């Protein structure tokens, strides 16, 4: 039984992988024309379909909207009962259908053509009505569904999804859609936080441990313990950053020095602390921590004024990691 299940799963993945691989042959002049037409259009992209293709269409709409191409979904069955009013003069319409011959699609095609809108057919049969009537064809033909009966939409819907992603990515590049643009459309959740949350939004609730260079070892340990951040900054009389002492620095010092009464902060601290400014993205601060394998960074102003400490735990709490 276990062997049969694994075999079936692997065959499904293999068949769908072949379907995706086969799409390379369909990135042709029609695909280029469809991308250029959508990019130049003054209106939106209206995507429609029936059954599983309709579900794929909703996903493609979501991807386009989140990457800078205005789009909306219109169910093919509802379209012929009033929803055609969604289509405006300058819109480009994409109809998704494996067969290109579904009854609802056959009714819908001449109506769209009568409106004068550009029609793009994402279709798995280039001899179908949808293919013949489309201004551009996005060919998603597959050799075989992953379904054992070659009936349930599996490989075909995967191919549609990937073709939609290819379309969206090409439009992103033509629109010069940047990470900052992406952040504007994704302000919520952990993804949004990675794109807009700054160091200044995260570290300010922490303690602000600091000692002068002539502080005793006891004062250093008390500052680290009180701050609960595993480190303390070393500053001068004007609160300028001079360095950092971590609990690891203290442990390493204890391994080599016997007379602790004479130890000062100046004997321990690192003179090249890793510092970030408040306006830096928290995700970029995390990348710095990963690069140097450290758990905290000092936060400083443009004039090297000590502002506080950002700890790895802060980023975990905010979902950056």
Binding annotation for Zn(2+): 75
Contact 272, 308 (CB under 8 A): no
Q: Is 142 exposed, middle or buried (0-12, 13-18, 19+ CB in 10 A)?
A: buried
Q: How far is CA 298 from the centre of its chain?
A: 28
How far lies 207's CA from each of 138, 139, 231, 303, 307, in Å? 58, 60, 11, 21, 10
Binding residues: 75
Q: Which candidate, 135, 137, 283, places its Cα nearest to that of 198?
A: 283
- Torsion angle (degrees, nearest 10) of CA 96, 102, 107, 112: 10
Edge-to-edge order in the sheet of strand 71-75: 71-75, 45-49, 92-97, 118-123, 136-139
- If one counts every other C-beta atom within 10 angstroms of the C-beta of residue 85, the result is 8
Total number of residues shown for the chain: 321
Contact 63, 162 (CB under 8 A): no
Q: Give the whole-angstrom CA distance, residue 68 versus residue 177.
A: 7
DSSP state of 296: E
């Amino acid at each position: 039984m276990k062997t049969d299940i694994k075999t079936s799963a692997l065959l499904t993945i293999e068949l769908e992988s072949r379907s995706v691989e086969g799409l390379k042959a369909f990135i042709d002049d029609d695909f280029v024309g469809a991308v250029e037409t959508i990019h130049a259009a003054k209106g939106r992209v209206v995507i429609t379909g029936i059954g599983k293709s309709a579900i794929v269409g909703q996903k493609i709409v979501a991807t386009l909207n989140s990457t800078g191409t205005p789009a909306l979904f219109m169910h093919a069955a509802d379209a012929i009962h009033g929803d055609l009013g969604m289509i405006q003069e300058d819109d480009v319409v994409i109809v998704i259908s494996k067969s290109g011959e579904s009854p609802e699609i056959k009714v819908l095609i001449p109506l769209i053509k009568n409106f004068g809108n550009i029609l793009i057919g994402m279709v798995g049969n280039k001899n179908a009505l949808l293919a013949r009537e489309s201004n551009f064809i996005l060919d998603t033909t597959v050799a075989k569904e992953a379904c054992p009966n070659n009936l349930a939409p599996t490989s075909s819907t995967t191919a549609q999804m990937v073709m939609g992603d290819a379309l969206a990515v090409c439009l992103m590049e033509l629109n010069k859609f940047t990470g900052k643009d992406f952040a504007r459309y994704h302000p919520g959740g952990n993804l949004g936080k990675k794109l807009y949350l700054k160091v200044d939004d995260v570290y300010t609730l922490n303690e602000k441990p600091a000692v002068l260079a002539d502080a005793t070892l006891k004062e250093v340990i008390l500052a680290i313990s009180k701050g609960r951040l595993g480190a303390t900054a070393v500053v001068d009389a004007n609160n300028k950053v001079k360095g950092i002492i971590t609990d690891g620095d203290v442990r390493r010092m204890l391994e080599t020095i016997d007379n602790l009464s004479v130890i000062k902060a100046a004997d321990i601290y690192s003179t090249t602390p890793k510092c970030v400014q408040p306006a830096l993205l928290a995700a970029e601060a995390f990348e710095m921590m990963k690069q140097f394998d450290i758990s905290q960074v000092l936060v400083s102003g443009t004039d090297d004024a000590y502002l506080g400490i950002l700890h790895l735990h802060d980023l975990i709490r905010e979902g950056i990691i």
